[in-house]
A = this chain, B = another copy of it.
Amino acid sequence: MKENSGRRGRVLTLCWLLLCWTLAANASASTAPDPLPSWADGPAKTAVTGFVQRVTSPGSKDFVPVPERIAVFDHDGTLWAEQPIYPQMVFAIQRVRTLAPRFPGWRHKQPFRAAIEGDLSSLARSGSSALMQLTMATHAGMTTEQFDRIASDWMVSARHPRFRRPYTDLVYQPMLELLAHLRTHGFKTWIVSGGGADFIRVWAERVYGIPPEQVIGSTLKTKFEISGNRSALIHLPEIDFIDNHAGKPVAIQRTIGRRPILAFGNSDGDLPMLQWITTGPGPRFAALIHHTDARREWAYDRESPVGQLDLALREALRRGWLVVDMRQDWKRLFPFDH
């Protein structure tokens, strides 16, 4: 009798455990949160989640080991808004104005004059060489630590002209979700930007969860100086590296040393990076963010002086890369949208 009741007890316990386990498993299956809630259900979302599933499922023929799960993202226009003018250019313009009293010659010299006069459209049209000139004049001659402080202070106080919010509010919520989804699946996420690495690093960890050592960008030369117990790295007014166009695969190889398997970009400057990513062996995923949403943001591509997308779009269509239609594929754009 006693033995019987003991056996019955054990069976009951086993049943109870099985029941709990079944309920828990069901609950997690039916209520597993959507990892990309800001992406509209449809082919774009399915393509990216399907790829992540394929390369991370043990036993899948496309399985990729964790160390090879390298994902790279352009920055301006891919992770945050880049219109009406690159935010780093706004920062440089502000620095030109702050420094102008010390450099009276700037009033008569482009692109400094346009910066002082706030002529943004002429600056946007003047392209990357103007940005370079302003960058060198305003980022050089200081230590890396001084630069970090100035950029960090600016980011706190500056407001986007249309949205009247800090620039770091204008990051794309769907991309924040994608970055997190990839990291949850063992990917290392990297920024590969034509903009300045130092500028992005100041806040990339806080905003994107991407540490400084996973930010690749354009750089000025720096010089090491030591005197007694103090040392510094000083920004020189000389280009070290422009991380755009063919510079992107070059910088990826130099810094990461292996070919990423996933890349997102939004402009012709990203084309060589996407070509490099997609022509390697094994499973590969390339995508372009197509800015099609004039209401919530901006609609631009072929003719835009900022973030021009022409050749890369043609190549994406020819090669079957994902083209994210911002208006259709993203339900929510910015974290502050509801």
> Could you list which residues of chain A lie within 8 angstroms of chain B, going by C-beta atoms?
2, 67, 70, 144, 188, 197-198, 201, 205, 211-213, 215, 219, 222-224, 226, 229-231, 233, 240, 246, 249-250, 253-258, 272, 275-276, 279
Contacts of A276 in B (CB 8 A): 224, 226, 231, 233
Contacts of A229 in B (CB 8 A): 279
Judge whether A201 and B257 touch: CB under 8 Å: yes
Judge whether A215 and B257 touch: CB under 8 Å: yes
Judge whether B211 and A67 touch: CB under 8 Å: yes
Judge whether A254 and B224 touch: CB under 8 Å: no
Judge whether B249 and A224 touch: CB under 8 Å: yes
Residue of B2, B223, B279 near A2 (CB, 8 A) is: B2
Residue of B222, B256, B279 near A226 (CB, 8 A) is: B279
State the Cβ distance, A145 to closest chain B Cβ, in Å. 9
| Copies of the protein in its oligomer | 2
State the Cβ distance, A75 to closest chain B Cβ, in Å. 14
Contacts of A256 in B (CB 8 A): 212-213
Residue of B2, B226, B255, B275 near A275 (CB, 8 A) is: B226
Alpha-carbon distance between A258 and B215 when the two chains are bound, in angstroms: 11
Contacts of A222 in B (CB 8 A): 250, 253-254
State the Cβ distance, A148 to closest chain B Cβ, in Å. 9
Closest-by-CB residue of B relative to A213 is B256
Alpha-carbon distance between A212 and B253 when the two chains are bound, in angstroms: 10
Residue of B70, B197, B212, B230 near A279 (CB, 8 A) is: B230
Residue of A215, A250, A254, A256 ringed by the most chain B CB atoms within 10 A: A254
Alpha-carbon distance between A213 and B260 when the two chains are bound, in angstroms: 11
Contacts of A246 in B (CB 8 A): 223-224
Contacts A213-B257, A231-B275, A231-B279 aside, 9 further interface pairs with beta carbons under 8 A come to: A2-B2, A67-B211, A213-B258, A215-B257, A219-B254, A223-B246, A224-B250, A226-B279, A231-B276
Judge whether B213 and A233 touch: CB under 8 Å: no
Contacts of A211 in B (CB 8 A): 67
28 contacting pairs across A/B (C-beta < 8 A): A67-B211, A70-B213, A188-B213, A197-B254, A198-B257, A212-B256, A212-B257, A212-B258, A213-B257, A213-B258, A222-B250, A222-B254, A223-B246, A224-B246, A224-B250, A224-B272, A224-B276, A226-B272, A226-B275, A226-B276, A229-B279, A230-B279, A231-B249, A231-B275, A233-B250, A233-B253, A233-B276, A255-B255
